[in-house]
């Protein structure tokens, strides 16, 4: 670790020579205008929450994010400590009770409603950022750490590194039965591991490279969160941004840091990479950034730039949740044991079937989109020239695969959410005796320890199926709209594309619902 | 052009490219454009020349460029070394021989749309502009471009350390290559067509007195003259010109070139009062006869090393050596007489302390007087202060330059310096002072010791001019346009002796900004007198900034009949968040305007040096931060802005703040800072949020009326004083 410098920028003299003395020699080219590129994604001016003076004042306050992070920071350090030192009864230990019965579920609710709200208050990234900036909220001028840039070789795959991290973390969680919940100490070690690796990345790389590329949750929050109703920080007038000479929102100024998430409000077309940290809002010298709300699903349906990393992330993440459903089935247990016996692997889950199921589902998703492509494509349709990167390359296959995967985001989101519901409905009330236990009050015989919000299996399944059904309807709507725009021109008829896409979403949804019913039967 | 086979490849990380086009608008080659489908940047490898400005300017580091710099070799005219060094004062560095050679070099310039060289130049010459004019062969246009920012292109092109300024900041240099020979090209323009004389405009009654006749004074006098002011220059020497005339050897700066500006100024009507040293205490007398005074006395007190034996005979300072050696080497000069006066014989050794540019001049002069010369400097050679080319030339002429050594004692024989005892030093970083190694000493036989370690300001002037000499410093968070240009991205150009050209250039801005603000009422300080020892170009640029400020502020001496608008100029500056403070500021400004005052209103982050310089009265307002009654202070941005203010030189200041519950000591804190900055607080008031409506009791209008009536009373007192 290299300590670059420790200069507090707080009361340091502000540069007063703001008027550039050498404008005479600046002959920069005129920036290109985006034409209609952002038409579908630009939020309506009336949806700018920051137009309200009180909100504006709040967002300008440098302590805002600190105050969002602080409670979570306290809770998660308590989780670490109590998980290690508290009772080994998972249901009665505060660490396991709060993390697995409540937190994970709440994160999903926030994701679906808001987008990256969790990222704005995340204690893991928050801790790393406090250390990196060596302050809790102030605008410091130098950072601690090496400040490396994420290499192109990794950066070009966008969210896929994060998907890999999520798959790895989930496998570890299954292997040690952390989220079961099992031994509370395992939860502590997992949280410590996340905090530690976040800190490491914050010290190695610049800004929130960890959050953007590595964090296990960033891909799922990004993709599922694009259903959310918060568009994030966006430009109020793009012309002002294009002619802005300072780009303080990206580079930072005395009032705010440059975007830690590598997002420019001037070109954001979805909430995918807006961490809601409000730094751009603080830094903008022209007060040209607003915090916008949007109709749910807008960031799924509207973007005209569709990213292949997001599409593959959706396919892989769905593979994972399907695995988590399938693994509850009796026959799967037998397959896993058989594999373990033949590969000398000690216990569930065998990595081969873990990877196998996820790969199978992803390939099936790709295969299905290929089939749709073969069924509805226009033979004379040309593949437009795309970028050279993994994210933006175009191909006949990607023309269908990528939009179709965007379309099923609501199914995947609903499926993940439904998967968390049993623990919440059955055990969320245990948080109260778990807190009481710290003060010598709660026990496994407490009434709330043995109460459930919904106790019966059939009740829970009914809720799960309803949630997925809602997600399926949303996915069908989204797929219909996406196909109507993105696939219409390259398909034999727009209607065929729309019907195929919506049917695909329906099939995915029905499969998820069926698995929940089957899981119940297995139980 | 050298044919380079290795291809250039530009990669854009599509995931991180936000389509902000910071690179697109700056690419000299137009090799970058937008992919409208993905709104990311695409690069045309074939058009790219590898200058990497895109890499330096991308806010998200999403661009990498691989491959060589596609630029032809730099064409520097060969150095001119006289066959016989002794007695020669011929210029070592010569200009381009012909237009074709200059054009070939000019064609290496990429004409960057956001030129970093311009920021590297202390005067901010439009370098791509005049280099482009050379390519066209249009020298008048080149002069026209240079004239906008410089009146001394012939001098600067010879004496500037371009490697640490424009050339060090050339995009090729920042990319690790060899920069365009900007200095030589500038000189070529002035070699072909003489620098045009000042263009005179209609004369006004106002007059400005300038103390000193160096480059800073020339810059101020030139622009004031062109602005119609009467200019009187007081110079202690018999000839104007300052250090370039008496201190720079002819082989670097021919006398004719050094005196050119003053010749033109005198012809244009500047009154020169020569052989007249104005003491600091006479400043008040000058203020009685002039409407404004510009102090450009330089920093001429030589620094001396207080080692044992330093008071022996044969230990002198650089100023006296340079002055007398220059006279001795001129036609008709007697170098033998000088040597005799100095007490040395031909062939004997001069020890020069220091290895900066002055030390190089001393040593090279000594070589021309047929003396052996050794320079010692305690800095490490990597961090040498001298121009790299000057150092090389000195060594070529036989000067023995030793770094990492310092003088620890002078041993005298018969009261005269005979041996120098040198200690070794070690320096790990440029920012760290060298440490002296006590155990490792060497002895050198010397006949003369010249202390050329630098100069400092005249303490009598610094005593009466608050805030001088100032310390130039770059702000902790660099202004974004500087960062956007990419000049700060590469901190250590090899070509510039690993100097952080960008941040040094940015720090210089604080000197330019301070020069445009009066240090006291009607007194401006410029050049070395303001910043301590610096460069010719910086001094000239500061002089011009002060002239612009004077032309703008139009100060008047008491007793002058008002020939123009007499209303006091009020600048209302505010820091507002939710809009309440802005509303209060607008009410105040409106009320002041209604009272017949000349009013300007601006948020603090848009207040520039000009606006501040022109204001007679400042009304400063802020919101207060804090929680209800805890930690209540002026807003952070206001505190930082106040901290960054220069000396207010007795300007009257009215303070206000807006608050929700209780302003606590916010106004006291502001008043303390303002007073410490030399401002006079004439009024202050805190407005509760509920009292901001126009016409409210205890509201802003009442405050404005008080401020206006205060100024009116002051005016009456002044007029009464005059009659």
C-alpha–C-alpha distance, residues B389 and B162, integer Å: 10
Distance from CA of B312 to the nearest CA of A (A): 46
Q: Which domain-ending residue is among A300, A327, A360?
A: A300
Q: Whats the size of chain B, residue-wise? A: 723
User: Is the torsion defined by CA of A243, A246, A250, A254 positive or negative?
Assistant: negative
Nearest chain B residue (CA) to A263:
B18
Q: What are the tens digits of pLDDT across the range B236-285?
A: 999 999 999 988 889 889 999 999 999 999 999 899 999 988 888 888 88
Distance from CA of B628 to the nearest CA of A (A): 15
Structure tokens at A496: 């065929």
Which pLDDT value is given to residue B150? 92
- Output the CA–CA distances (angstroms, integers) from residue B591 to A134, B383, B599, B699, B701, in the order listed: 46, 57, 10, 12, 6
Chain B residues inside the 8 Å CB shell of A270: none
Q: Are residues A278 and A349 in the same domain?
A: no
Whether residue A35 lies within 8 A of chain B, CB to CB, comes out as yes
Restricting to A residues 270-289, those with a Cβ less than 8 Å away from any Cβ of B are 285
Q: Say whether the ipTM exceeds 0.85.
A: yes
Which of B211, B233, B338 lies closest to B282, judged by CA?
B211
H/E element, B684:
strand B680-688
Nearest chain A residue (CA) to B38:
A305
CB contact under 8 A, B643 and A22: no
Q: Are residues A366 and A264 in the same domain?
A: no
Domain ranges of chain B: 9-66, 302-456, 569-722
C-alpha–C-alpha distance, residues A116 and B409, integer Å: 69
Domain membership flag for residue A15: no
Q: Are residues A276 and A404 in the same domain?
A: no
Structure tokens at B722: 């005059």
CB contact under 8 A, B480 and A26: no
Which pLDDT value is given to residue A522? 53
For domain B302-456, the question of CATH label 1.10.3720.10 is answered with no
Tell me how many degrees the CA angle B92-B95-B98 measures, rounded to the nearest 5.
Answer: 140
Distance from CA of B584 to the nearest CA of A (A): 16
C-alpha–C-alpha distance, residues B547 and B524, integer Å: 9
- Output the CA–CA distances (angstroms, integers) from residue B406 to A413, A425, B305, B366, B453, in the order listed: 72, 80, 10, 20, 11
B436 in Cβ contact with B410 (< 8 Å): no
Q: Are residues A326 and A366 in the same domain?
A: yes
Chain B residues inside the 8 Å CB shell of A304: 37
H/E element, B232:
strand B230-234
Q: Are residues A296 and A425 in the same domain?
A: no
Residue B112 has pLDDT above 60, yes or no: yes
CB contact under 8 A, B20 and A264: yes
> What DSSP assignment string belongs to A449-487?
GG--SS--HHHHHHHHHHHHHHHHHHHHHHHHHHIIIII
Which pLDDT value is given to residue B3? 52
What is the pLDDT confidence band of residue B568, given thresholds at 50, 70 and 90?
confident
Q: Are residues A429 and A296 in the same domain?
A: no
Structural domain count of chain A = 2
CB contact under 8 A, B128 and A57: no
Whether residue A334 lies within 8 A of chain B, CB to CB, comes out as no
Which pLDDT value is given to residue A255? 86
CB contact under 8 A, A139 and B19: no
Find which of A4, A5, A7, A21 to mutate to test the B interface (most B CBs within 10 Å of its CB). A21
Nearest chain B residue (CA) to A29:
B25
Whether residue A25 lies within 8 A of chain B, CB to CB, comes out as yes
Which of A192, A187, A193 lies closest to A173, judged by CA?
A187
Report the CATH fold assignment for B9-66: Alpha-Beta Plaits (3.30.70)
Structure tokens at B380: 């490490």
CB contact under 8 A, A27 and B477: no
What phi and psi values does residue B230 have, to the nearest 5 degrees?
Answer: -80, 135
Which of B604, B574, B599 lies closest to B707, judged by CA?
B599
A:B CB pairs within 8 Å? 210
**Nearest residue, CB atoms, B19 vs list A29, A267, A285:** A267
CB contact under 8 A, A309 and B15: yes
Q: To which CATH superfamily is domain B569-722 assigned?
A: Flavodoxin domain (3.40.50.360)
Q: Are residues A255 and A334 in the same domain?
A: no
Q: Are residues A420 and A403 in the same domain?
A: yes
Residues of chain B by 3-state class (helix, strand, coil), percent to 5: 35, 20, 45
Chain B residues inside the 8 Å CB shell of A258: 59
C-alpha–C-alpha distance, residues B489 and B69, integer Å: 18
Q: Are residues A372 and A283 in the same domain?
A: no
H/E element, B400:
strand B400-402
Residue B719 has pLDDT above 50, yes or no: no
Which pLDDT value is given to residue B493? 66
Residue B564 has pLDDT above 70, yes or no: no
C-alpha–C-alpha distance, residues A320 and A307, integer Å: 20
Nearest chain B residue (CA) to A19:
B608
CB contact under 8 A, A387 and B42: yes
Percent residues over pLDDT 70 in chain B: 95
- Could you tell me the residue range of the domain that residue A265 belongs to? 39-300
Q: Are residues A141 and A190 in the same domain?
A: yes
User: Is the torsion defined by CA of A97, A98, A100, A105 positive or negative?
Assistant: positive
CB contact under 8 A, B606 and A53: no
Chain A residues inside the 8 Å CB shell of B624: none
**Average pLDDT rounded to a whole number, residues B402-430:** 89
CB contact under 8 A, A34 and B39: yes
Which pLDDT value is given to residue B1? 46
Find which of A5, A8, A23, A29 to mutate to test the B interface (most B CBs within 10 Å of its CB). A29
Domain membership flag for residue A27: no
H/E element, A223:
helix A218-225
Residue B384 has pLDDT above 90, yes or no: no
Residue B382 has pLDDT above 90, yes or no: no
Which of B580, B357, B314 lies closest to B449, judged by CA?
B314
- What's the gap between Cα B545 and its chain centre? 10
Which pLDDT value is given to residue B715? 58
Nearest chain B residue (CA) to A31:
B25
DSSP, res B532: S
Find which of B480, B511, B636 to mutate to test the A interface (most A CBs within 10 Å of its CB). B480
3-state SS class at B279? coil
Pairing of β B301-302 and β B455-456: antiparallel
B484 contacts: CB under 8 Å, gap ≥ 6: A245, A246, A247, A251, B22, B57, B114
B274 contacts: CB under 8 Å, gap ≥ 6: B235, B237, B238, B239, B240
C-alpha–C-alpha distance, residues A169 and B449, integer Å: 73
CB contact under 8 A, A392 and B14: yes
C-alpha–C-alpha distance, residues B647 and B637, integer Å: 19
Domain membership flag for residue A32: no
> What DSSP assignment string belongs to B480-507?
HHHHHHTTTT---BGGGTTB-HHHHHHH
- Looking at A434-438, B1-5, B65-69, B88-92, which range is the least confident one? B1-5
Cβ neighbour number for residue B308 with a 10 Å cutoff: 13
B334 in Cβ contact with B328 (< 8 Å): yes
Chain B residues inside the 8 Å CB shell of A11: 636, 639-640, 643
Restricting to A residues 57-96, those with a Cβ less than 8 Å away from any Cβ of B are 57, 60
What phi and psi values does residue B418 have, to the nearest 5 degrees?
Answer: -130, -35
C-alpha–C-alpha distance, residues A156 and A150, integer Å: 10
Restricting to A residues 290-319, those with a Cβ less than 8 Å away from any Cβ of B are 304-305, 307, 309
C-alpha–C-alpha distance, residues A109 and A114, integer Å: 8
Burial B538-560 (b: 16+ CB within 10 A, else e): bbbbbbbbbbbbbbebbbbbeee
Place of tokens 């001429």: B300
Residue B372 has pLDDT above 80, yes or no: yes
What phi and psi values does residue B210 have, to the nearest 5 degrees?
Answer: -115, 125
CB contact under 8 A, A266 and B20: yes
CB contact under 8 A, A266 and B18: yes
- Give the up-direction half-sphere exposure of residue B679: CA atoms within 13 A in the CB hemisphere: 27
DSSP, res A313: H
Whether residue A256 lies within 8 A of chain B, CB to CB, comes out as no
**Nearest residue, CB atoms, B644 vs list A15, A262, A386:** A15
Domain membership flag for residue A21: no
A30 in Cβ contact with B556 (< 8 Å): no
Domain membership flag for residue A12: no
B366 in Cβ contact with B397 (< 8 Å): no
Q: Which domain-ending residue is among A242, A275, A300?
A: A300
Q: Which domain-ending residue is among A300, A321, A340?
A: A300
Domain membership flag for residue A430: yes
Which pLDDT value is given to residue A22? 63
Domain membership flag for residue A365: yes
Higher pLDDT, B181 or B715: B181
H/E element, A231:
strand A230-235
H/E element, A292:
strand A289-293
Residues of chain A with pLDDT under 50: 1-20
Whether residue A40 lies within 8 A of chain B, CB to CB, comes out as no
Q: Are residues A281 and A211 in the same domain?
A: yes
Place of tokens 């502020």: B553
Chain B residues inside the 8 Å CB shell of A21: 124, 509, 512
Chain B residues inside the 8 Å CB shell of A158: 15
Find which of B27, B471, B473, B477 to mutate to test the A interface (most A CBs within 10 Å of its CB). B477
**Average pLDDT rounded to a whole number, residues B426-440:** 83
Domain membership flag for residue A411: yes
Q: Are residues A231 and A330 in the same domain?
A: no
- What's the gap between Cα A106 and its chain centre? 13
């Amino acid at each position: 670790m290299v300590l670059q410098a420790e200069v507090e920028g707080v009361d340091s003299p502000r540069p007063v020579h703001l008027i550039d003395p050498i404008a005479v020699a600046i002959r920069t080219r005129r920036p290109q205008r985006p034409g209609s590129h952002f038409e579908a994604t630009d939020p309506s001016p009336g949806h700018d929450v920051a137009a309200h003076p009180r909100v504006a004042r709040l967002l300008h306050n440098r302590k805002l994010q600190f105050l969002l992070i602080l409670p979570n920071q306290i809770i998660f350090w308590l989780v670490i400590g109590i998980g290690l030192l508290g009772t080994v009864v998972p249901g009665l230990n505060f660490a396991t009770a709060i993390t697995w019965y409540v937190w994970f579920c709440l994160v999903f609710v926030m994701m679906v409603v808001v987008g990256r709200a969790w990222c704005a208050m995340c204690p893991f990234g928050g801790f790393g950022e406090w250390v990196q900036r060596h302050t809790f909220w102030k605008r410091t001028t130098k950072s601690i750490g090496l400040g490396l840039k994420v290499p192109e070789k990794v950066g070009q795959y966008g969210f896929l590194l994060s998907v890999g991290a999520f798959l790895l973390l989930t496998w570890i969680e299954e292997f040690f039965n952390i989220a079961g919940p099992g031994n509370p100490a395992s939860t502590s070690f997992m949280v410590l591991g996340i905090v530690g690796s976040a800190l490491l990345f914050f010290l190695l790389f610049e800004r929130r490279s960890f959050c953007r590329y590595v964090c296990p949750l960033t891909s799922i929050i990004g993709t599922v969160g694009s259903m959310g109703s918060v568009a994030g920080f966006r430009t109020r007038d793009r012309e002002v941004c294009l002619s802005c000479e300072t780009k303080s929102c990206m580079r930072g100024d005395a009032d705010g840091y440059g975007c830690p998430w590598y997002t420019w409000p001037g070109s954001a077309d979805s909430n995918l990479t807006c961490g809601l940290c409000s730094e751009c809002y603080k830094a903008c010298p022209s007060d040209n950034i607003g915090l916008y709300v949007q109709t749910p699903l807008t960031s799924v349906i509207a973007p005209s730039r569709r990213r292949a990393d997001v599409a593959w992330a959706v396919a892989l993440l769905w593979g994972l949740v399907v695995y988590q459903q399938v693994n509850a089935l009796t026959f799967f247990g037998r397959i896993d044991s058989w594999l373990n016996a033949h590969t000398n692997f000690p216990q569930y889950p065998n990595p081969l079937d873990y990877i196998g199921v996820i790969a199978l589902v992803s390939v099936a998703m790709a295969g299905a989109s290929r089939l749709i492509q073969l069924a509805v494509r226009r033979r004379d349709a040309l593949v437009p020239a795309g970028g050279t990167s993994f994210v933006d390359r175009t191909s006949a296959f990607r023309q269908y695969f990528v939009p179709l995967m965007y379309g099923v985001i609501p199914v995947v989101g609903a499926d993940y959410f439904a998967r968390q519901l049993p623990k919440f409905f059955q055990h969320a009330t245990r948080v109260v005796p778990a807190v009481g236990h710290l003060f010598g009050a709660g026990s496994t015989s407490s009434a709330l320890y043995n109460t459930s919000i919904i106790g019966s299996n059939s009740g829970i399944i009914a809720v799960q199926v309803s949630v997925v059904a809602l997600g399926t309807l949303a996915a069908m709507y989204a797929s219909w709209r996406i196909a109507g725009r993105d696939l219409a021109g390259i398909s034999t008829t727009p209607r065929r594309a729309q019907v195929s896409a919506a049917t695909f979403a329906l099939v995915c949804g029905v499969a998820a619902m069926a698995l929940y019913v089957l899981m119940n039967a297995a139980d | 052009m050298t044919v380079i086979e290795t291809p250039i490849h530009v990669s854009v990380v599509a995931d991180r490219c936000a389509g902000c086009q910071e690179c697109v608008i700056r690419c000299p080659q137009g090799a970058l454009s937008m992919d409208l489908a993905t709104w990311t940047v695409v690069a045309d490898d074939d058009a790219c020349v590898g200058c990497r400005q895109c890499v330096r300017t991308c806010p998200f580091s999403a661009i990498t460029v691989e491959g060589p710099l596609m630029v032809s070799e730099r064409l520097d005219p060969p150095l001119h070394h006289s066959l016989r060094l002794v007695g020669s004062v011929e210029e070592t560095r010569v200009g381009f021989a012909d237009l074709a050679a200059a054009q070939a070099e000019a064609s290496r310039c990429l004409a960057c749309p956001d030129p970093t060289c311009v920021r590297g130049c202390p005067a901010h010459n439009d370098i791509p502009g005049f280099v482009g004019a050379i390519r066209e062969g249009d020298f008048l246009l080149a002069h026209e471009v240079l004239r906008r920012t410089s009146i001394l292109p012939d001098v600067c092109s010879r004496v500037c350390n371009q490697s640490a300024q424009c050339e060090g900041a050339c995009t090729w240099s920042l990319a690790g290559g060899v920069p365009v020979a900007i200095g030589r090209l500038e000189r070529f323009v002035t070699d072909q067509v003489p620098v045009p004389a000042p263009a005179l405009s209609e004369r006004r009654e106002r007059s400005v007195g300038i103390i000193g006749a160096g480059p800073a004074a020339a810059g101020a006098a030139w622009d004031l003259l062109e602005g119609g002011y009467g200019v009187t220059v007081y110079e202690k020497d018999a000839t104007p010109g300052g250090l370039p005339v008496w201190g720079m050897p002819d082989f670097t700066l021919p006398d004719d070139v050094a005196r050119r500006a003053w010749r033109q100024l005198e012809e244009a009507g500047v009154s020169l009062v020569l052989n007249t040293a104005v003491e600091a205490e006479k400043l008040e007398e000058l203020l009685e006869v002039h409407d404004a005074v510009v102090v450009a006395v330089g920093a001429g007190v030589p620094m001396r090393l207080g080692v044992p034996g330093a008071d022996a005979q044969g230990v002198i300072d650089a100023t006296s050596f340079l002055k007398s050696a220059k006279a001795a080497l001129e036609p008709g000069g007697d170098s033998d007489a000088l040597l005799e006066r100095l007490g040395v014989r031909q062939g004997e050794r001069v020890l020069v302390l220091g290895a900066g540019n002055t030390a190089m001049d001393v040593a090279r002069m000594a070589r021309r007087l047929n003396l052996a010369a050794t320079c010692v400097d305690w800095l490490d050679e990597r961090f040498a202060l001298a121009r790299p080319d000057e150092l090389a030339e000195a060594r070529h002429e036989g000067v023995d330059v030793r770094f990492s050594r310092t003088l620890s004692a002078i041993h005298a024989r018969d009261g005269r310096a005979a041996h120098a005892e040198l200690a070794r030093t070690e320096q790990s970083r440029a920012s760290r002072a060298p440490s002296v190694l006590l155990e490792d000493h060497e002895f050198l036989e010397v006949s003369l010791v010249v202390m050329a370690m630098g100069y400092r300001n005249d303490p009598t002037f610094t005593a009466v001019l608050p805030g001088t000499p100032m310390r130039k410093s770059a702000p902790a968070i660099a202004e974004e346009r500087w960062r956007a240009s990419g000049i700060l991205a590469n901190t250590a150009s090899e070509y510039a002796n690993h100097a952080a050209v960008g941040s040094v250039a940015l720090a210089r801005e604080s000197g330019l900004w301070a020069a445009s603000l009066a240090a006291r009422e009607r007194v401006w300080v410029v050049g070395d007198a303001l910043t301590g020892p610096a460069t010719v170009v910086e001094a000239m640029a500061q002089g011009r900034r002060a002239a612009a400020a004077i032309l703008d502020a139009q100060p008047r001496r008491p007793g002058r009949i008002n020939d123009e608008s007499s209303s006091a100029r009020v600048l209302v500056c505010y820091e507002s968040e939710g809009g309440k403070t802005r509303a209060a500021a607008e009410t105040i400004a409106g009320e002041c305007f209604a009272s017949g005052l000349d009013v300007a209103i601006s948020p603090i982050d848009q207040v520039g040096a000009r606006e501040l310089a022109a204001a007679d009265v400042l009304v400063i307002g802020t919101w207060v931060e804090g929680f209800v009654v805890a930690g209540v202070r002026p807003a952070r941005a206001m505190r930082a802005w106040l901290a960054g203010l220069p000396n207010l030189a007795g300007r009257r200041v009215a303070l206000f703040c807006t608050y929700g519950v209780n302003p606590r000591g916010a106004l006291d804190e502001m008043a303390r800072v303002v007073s410490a900055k030399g401002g006079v607080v004439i009024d202050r008031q805190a407005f509760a949020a509920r009292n901001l409506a126009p016409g409210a009791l205890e509201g802003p209008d009442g405050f404005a009326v008080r401020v206006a009536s205060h100024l009116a009373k002051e005016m009456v007192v002044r007029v009464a004083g005059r009659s």
